Amino acid sequence: MASSSSCSRRYDVFPSFSGEDVRKSFLSHFLKELDRKSINTFIDHGIERSRPIGPELLSAIRESRISLVVFSKKYASSSWCLNELVEIHNSFKELNQIVIPVFYGVDPSHVRKQAGEFGEDFMKLCKGKNEDQKQRWMQALTEVANMA
């Protein structure tokens, strides 16, 4: 199975991030460097942000060798980011995808434990959501934040 998952990679890197926090600062510089090194990175221009993650985004996540998750202050206040994270976590478990967490202006333990301001934003987002959804998000946050 490992060989079949490694030959269908369309992208080298899939970045998951809260655009509000990092798009014009950290991420723009990082993406420019990846491009300079001819690293094929998924760019989400023009994807409509709807509740469920669309098939285009799902396949981009699954067809990437590496997912780079940029945890920032607003990451946990976005159901879009958290749904992406669940899919990235699934790709890690099922397809042996490499996942690299980056902590940008946020304490890693706050992400792991959904604590501090990060946790407060997460709990606000979880209001009205079903318990199953909340548990999937919590598991993905904890496990991805624990990756070295």
Active-site choice (33, 56, 63, 84): 84
Helix 79-95 and helix 131-145, axial crossing angle in degrees, nearest 10: 60
Q: Please say if 56 is a catalytic residue.
A: no
Lookup: tokens for 14: 């899939």
Beta carbons of 104 and 26 less than 8 angstroms apart: yes
Just list the catalytic residues: 84
